[in-house]
Amino acid sequence: MIRSLSSVCLFCCLLAAACCLTHSPVHAAEAPIQVEADHMSSTEKSNTVLFKGNVDAKQKDVRIRSNEMTVYYTPAAKAGGKKDTKTSQQVEKLICTGNVEISKQEWLGTSNRMIYLAKERQVILIDNAKAYQGQNMVSGEKIIYYLDEGRSEVVGKRTSATVGDAGKKESKPGRVNMTIIQK
């Protein structure tokens, strides 16, 4: 039981790396993280931690909410058959499913599924993906955000973008639509 609780605490700390989705200073990754869910289970054999039910993860001004969140991590290096306590596990990827929302200040991303790939430093919103910044919005089947490059791609069957609060416009398959409101 104590081993499971210490594993949970460690994995919550590892979640910090995944939740920090900007080029923020190093001290931001050290900020306290709060993860709330109705249920949590850890499986050492598959190196995963699963949070289920009203998942709400926060670190500084980054917040991720979803129905489920699974954290995949690399195990600590082993020295002589024992885990090296000086080497911590690293997050490989994070998968959120069901009513996904990720937000930071004025930016909000929503989708039915989100994947964070730590090595590639990418956030991928999949299935009814939308990103909002102020009144601006872009949507598609998939939005890929490249963290280190500060750029994104919108891919999918239907892609549309709205700038400002203009009326709704029909989107065409495979096309990007953008409306810019000038004051």
CATH code linked to domain 2-135+146-153 = 2.60.450
Indicate the residue type of 60: K
> Tens-digit pLDDT profile for the chain (183 aa)?
444 333 333 333 333 333 444 444 444 445 566 789 999 999 999 999 999 999 998 878 889 999 999 989 888 765 455 655 555 677 789 999 999 999 888 889 999 999 988 889 899 999 988 888 878 888 888 899 888 888 889 887 655 666 665 555 555 555 443 434 445
* Long-range contact set of residues 158-163: C-beta below 8 Å, sequence gap at least 24: 161/136, 161/137, 162/135, 162/136, 162/137, 162/138, 163/135, 163/136
Q: Which residues have a Cβ under 8 Å from the Cβ of 180 and sit 6 or more positions away?
A: 163, 164
| Residue whose pair of structure tokens reads 């039981």 in the numeric block | 1
pTM of the predicted structure, to 2 decimals? 0.70
